Structures are given as C-alpha cells and as structure tokens.
Amino acid sequence: MKRDLTSVFHAQQHAVEQAPYPSLSTRRERLGRLARMTKRHQHDIVRAIQADFGKRSETEIRLAEISGVLQAIGYTRLQLWRWMRPRRASMPWRLLPAKAHIVPQPLGVVGVMAPWNYPWSLAIMPAIDAFAAGNVVMLKPSEHAPHISALLAKLIPQYFTEEEFSVIEGGVEVAEAFSALPFDHLLFTGSSQVGRRVALSAAANLTPVTLELGGKSPAIVAADADVDRAAAAIVFGKGMNAGQTCIAPDYVLVESRRLDAMIKALTQAIAHQRPNDKDATSAINERHQQHLDNLLEEARDHGCRIIDAGPHAPVLIIDPTHDLAVMREEIFGRCLPVIGVKNIDDAIAYVNARPHPLALYAFTDDKALQLTLRQHTHSGALVFNETLLHHAVPSLPFGGVGESGMGSYHGRHGFERFSHLRGIFYQSKRPSSRLIRPPYRRWLMKLLRLG
C-alpha cells in the first residue's frame, strides 16, 4: 500500500518537474474537465451520496454538492487570468529605477484529505483552487463515505491522468501514510483532533498545511432581532444535511426574557421547513447516530426540556448546563441547544470563553453592536442575519482561526493559498545601488540618519 502511494506521488512530482508552469488555457481546460465530470455524472453522485447516508435530501445534494461546485468552477475560470497576472509592487524612491513584481507560482503536488459530510464538494472544491494555481492534486476521500470514495476513484481516472489528479482510497492507516508524504501543500478537512495529528505529520516534512476544521458555531440573537427571522435562518442552517455541516449553527444564545419567544419561533420554523420526512437526511452511520442519541439522552437524564418534532428535524434542548457533552463537543447533528443569557455582553463573554468557532452567527441590525462583534470576537467568518450562505460567496476567504483551523481557500484566496507569491526584483541598467556600495561615502551616513 505504502509503495503504491509513494510511487503515485513520485509520478506526480516528476510531472511537475516536466511542466512546472501550466498555462492559463491548460488550467482552464482542467477546470472544464472537473465541471464536465460533475455535470455528466450528477445522477451517480446523488445515488452514491444517498447510498452512503442511507437517506439524504436530493435537493440538498444538488444545492450543496453539485451546484456549489459548478458555480465555483465558473467563477474561477472567469477570474483566473486576473489572478495569474504578475502584480507590480511599489518601489521605495531610494531604489528607483529598479522594478518589482509579485508573481504567483504553482507549488507542485497538493494533497487533499476530504471528510464524509459533503463528500463530493469537499473533495472537489480544494482541487478547483489547486488546479487554478497550476498544481497537480492527490486526493484521499473519506472511508466513511465509501460509495463516493469509489465513485471518485472510478471517475477521476476517466477525466485526468494519474499525474494530474490521483485518488488514494483507504482508512486511517492509509490516511496516516498519506499525511506523511512530502507534499508541497496539504489541505485537510476534518475534526480538530485529527487535524492536530495531520499537522504534526506534515511538520516532519515542513509541508505547509491548511486545516479546515470544525467546532461549535454559535448563533447569537440580539435584543433588537426579529425572532421569527432569526429562527428561520437558524433552522435552515441546522436542518441542512441534518446538522452534519461544519458551519451549522451549533447552539443559540438569546436573552432569557426572550427565551420563550425564541423557542416558539424555532418550533414554528421547524414545523414549516421540516414538516415531514420528504427531504430528510440521516446520520452518516450507526456509530454517529448512537453518538447523537447519547447526547440527547444525557441532556434528557439531566432534566433538560426537549422539543422533538420527529427523527429528521432539529431537536431543541432548552438551557442545558455547560458540563453536558452537548455543550462541550461539536454536535454535528440535529440537536440544537437554546440557552438563555442575561444580555448581549454575556453572550459575547460566553463565546469568547470558548475556542474560536468556524462561523459566528449574529442576528441584529444594530450597527454599533455589529461593530462590537467585529472587533471583540474571533471566528472564521462573522455572518449577520443569515446562516451558511457565506460559504457560497466565492470572493470571501473560507477557513477557521485557532481551534477551527488555519488558512483559508475559495476563489482568489484559494488560488493564493496554493501558490507561492514570489517576489521578483529587476535591477535597472543604471542602478542607484552603486551609490550605496562600499567604499561608503560620508553623505550616505547623513542620509541614513535622516531616516
């Protein structure tokens, strides 16, 4: 197994040596192939994802896995020429008439480790940015989504040579060996716990990593917020993929005096958005389902009020104590704790006392409060009066901070993530630098003292 992995890697390295700077048209053509593969095989993608989950909403698959990927490819193909252009850098007057440029250069072989929750899009989205930047890609899909893993392993060789885009299937052992390869960049999407191991493994090769991790993304409902509007957005974010979304709102903080109104609004939004099982999605497997059942059971045993509208709808857990697992761990499922706080300052203090989340959702139109949240909290992204949709804005960097990850991608940010921004200096034929070379003249010292 190990030899295979290494020989594929070496073949890709060799290809990079042969073609170190793919042209704009080669890159656009590769992106076109990614789009064709996704478009032509969309029925297979839907079927494979549904087989992996048991039950998963086809509409949500088309929204999040297929349409999202195609839009990102379209945007990147359109913008790429602009991103690839060398940028002029300004020159201090003392060094004129020299010139300087910043030129994005491909890194080489990029490793991508994908999770199971959006198993197509989170495998392909990093590849879009890596190809745009002129790299080749080696992908390790998640073993927890075996049908999509097999589909990727079948389709990618039909559209790409092994040197351009290869797929390595396997479990934890393969994943460990994969993360130990001396990639030019490694992007890992998964839990913070495994992210740490991946970073350690990459450190041995000084491989730079992008870690797209998770955590508990809070939703703060401020005093001025319309609870119905907030509830509709929160239920949308929590309901999507049955809560198995890295940026799903994990829990809600609301002023205690509005707790009842919030619960009512959430209950109504759940009834409206998830009236039956038609668009239902299951937990990825028995183990994960068991884990989610345990979270709920523990909260119930501790006397929490629970409002459950059915097995495939968000389930409200009212005011759980902070020592319960549902408040200590990322939920990644349909449980939605709703917690009363004294006021907005308490909500901010609550968020700041915990690891930086991947997304922070705040429901408020109060400009002063929006500014306070911008300046006094940390999170991968800060989203006002909505959930999830920042992910669909290709000009926004997507990534975490602290415990929720490092580095970001999507659009130009992804292009630059997978490029080396190389500084290039062009000296002129009549360089001013000869004036500062030894033997040093007295006036030079005077000039330097001037600062």
Query: Any contact of residue 407 with ligand NAD (CB under 6 A)?
Result: no
Q: Which is nearer to ligand NAD, 137 or 194 (CB)?
A: 194
Query: Any contact of residue 214 with ligand NAD (CB under 6 A)?
Result: yes
- Bridge partner residues of 255 (DSSP): 341
Q: Six-digit token pair at 368?
A: 């002063």
Query: Any contact of residue 176 with ligand NAD (CB under 6 A)?
Result: yes
- Applying CB under 6 A, among 104, 111, 134, 190 the residue interacting with ligand NAD is 190
Query: Any contact of residue 333 with ligand NAD (CB under 6 A)?
Result: no
Q: Is 176 exposed, middle or buried (CB count within 10 Å of its CB: 0-12, 13-18, 19+)?
A: middle
Q: CB count, 10 Å around CB of 22?
A: 19
Q: Which is nearer to ligand NAD, 268 or 285 (CB)?
A: 285
Where do runs of H (alpha helix) occur along 278-317?
Answer: 286-301
Q: Is 246 a catalytic residue?
A: yes
| Residue whose CB is nearest to ligand NAD in the complex, by number | 214
Which residue in 21, 15, 13 sits closest to 420, CA to CA? 21
Catalytic pick among 60, 65, 212, 330: 212
Q: Which is nearer to ligand NAD, 36 or 287 (CB)?
A: 287
Q: CB count, 10 Å around CB of 183?
A: 26
Instruction: Give the Å distances, CA to CA, from 363 to 228, 382, 384, 390.
Output: 11, 11, 6, 15
Query: Any contact of residue 172 with ligand NAD (CB under 6 A)?
Result: yes
Query: Any contact of residue 73 with ligand NAD (CB under 6 A)?
Result: no
Catalytic pick among 60, 164, 246, 255: 246
Q: Which is nearer to ligand NAD, 244 or 377 (CB)?
A: 244
Minimum CB separation of residue 336 from ligand NAD in Å reads 16
Query: Any contact of residue 341 with ligand NAD (CB under 6 A)?
Result: no
Contact 187, 212 (CB under 8 A): yes
Residue type, 371: L
Query: Any contact of residue 149 with ligand NAD (CB under 6 A)?
Result: no
Per CB under 6 A, which of residues 98..137 are in contact with ligand NAD?
113, 115-117, 122
Tell how far CA 301 is from the center of its chain: 35
Cα separation of 132 and 107, whole Å? 11
- Applying CB under 6 A, among 212, 250, 255, 403 the residue interacting with ligand NAD is 212
Quickly list DSSP for 149-185: HHHHHHHHHHHS-TTTEEE----HHHHHHHHTS--SE
Which residue in 298, 343, 292, 299 sits closest to 318, CA to CA? 299
How many residues touch ligand NAD (CB under 6 A)?
27
Which residue in 295, 339, 334, 336 sits closest to 316, CA to CA? 336
Cα separation of 167 and 113, whole Å? 10
Cα separation of 374 and 439, whole Å? 53
Cα separation of 310 and 168, whole Å? 39
Q: Name the segment binding ligand NAD (CB under 6 A); options: 63-71, 191-199, 412-420, 442-450.
A: 191-199
- Applying CB under 6 A, among 132, 213, 315, 344 the residue interacting with ligand NAD is 213
- Applying CB under 6 A, among 65, 255, 330, 403 the residue interacting with ligand NAD is 330
For the window 241-260, what string marks contact with ligand NAD as x by the rule CB under 6 A? -----x--------------
Per CB under 6 A, which of residues 384..403 are in contact with ligand NAD?
400
Minimum CB separation of residue 253 from ligand NAD in Å reads 20
Q: Is 304 a catalytic residue?
A: no
Contact 245, 279 (CB under 8 A): no
- Applying CB under 6 A, among 197, 229, 258, 354 the residue interacting with ligand NAD is 197
Catalytic machinery residues: 212, 246
Interacting residues with ligand NAD (CB under 6 A): 113, 115-117, 122, 142-144, 172, 175-176, 179, 189-191, 194, 197-198, 212-214, 246, 330, 332, 358, 400, 405
